[in-house]
Structure 1
């Protein structure tokens, strides 16, 4: 048996646990998505109430600002994910 293949197998076995997924890895992302959806729903409800029932215009402006911030955050996260994916594609194999 070649010594290089033995070293490769040992290194692979040593690093295998690093690449395995963790059971709770997606919870943070899931919580962020739920917060994003709830922010959009609250803003939509506030806008509907403002248009139909004459609710407080300040609440409408605040809801629109929260929605804008949530969308900007989602776009920033998406851009970072795409950038990371492109960087992975550029890695030599």
Structure 2
């Protein structure tokens, strides 16, 4: 039992490490800037939606008994963090818009 849990934890750590290696580099950020803010925002929203769908799919697999609980918890936590980030960005954009509206002309 303990060996199974350690192997599962090691697999989850390896998966997370692989995802961390796939973070955008400075070059990919420059390419995104060249495409414009709208393209960058569109890609971010699509990625957030994709993470949410992945979380839902893992939850459904777990309900059907086809997924490991660790994978489900990881997917749900990732979706939660993504939702918090999207909400924070939305709040900052609304605050910036309100600050611009309050500026005297």
TM-score (norm 2): 0.64
User: Structure 2 regions of 5+ residues with no counterpart?
Assistant: 1-33
Matches within 5 A, 1:1-93: 24-93=36-105
Q: Aligned with 2:37: secondary structure?
A: coil
- Sort the Cα spacing of 1:42 and 1:23 in 2 relative to 1 into closer, same or farther, 3 A: closer
- Sort the Cα spacing of 1:54 and 1:23 in 2 relative to 1 into closer, same or farther, 3 A: closer
Give the ranges of 4+ consecutive aligned residues of structure 1 lying more than 3 Å apart after TM superposition. 22-25
Q: CA deviation at 1:52?
A: 1.1
Aligned residues: 72
User: Structure 1 regions of 5+ residues with no counterpart?
Assistant: 1-21
How far, CA to CA, are the matches of 2:69 and 2:81 in structure 1? 18
Say what the alpha-carbon RMSD is for the aligned residues: 1.5
Q: Deviations over 1:26-79 (max 9, x none)?
A: 111011011001100111100000011341000010011001001000000001
Larger radius of gyration: 1
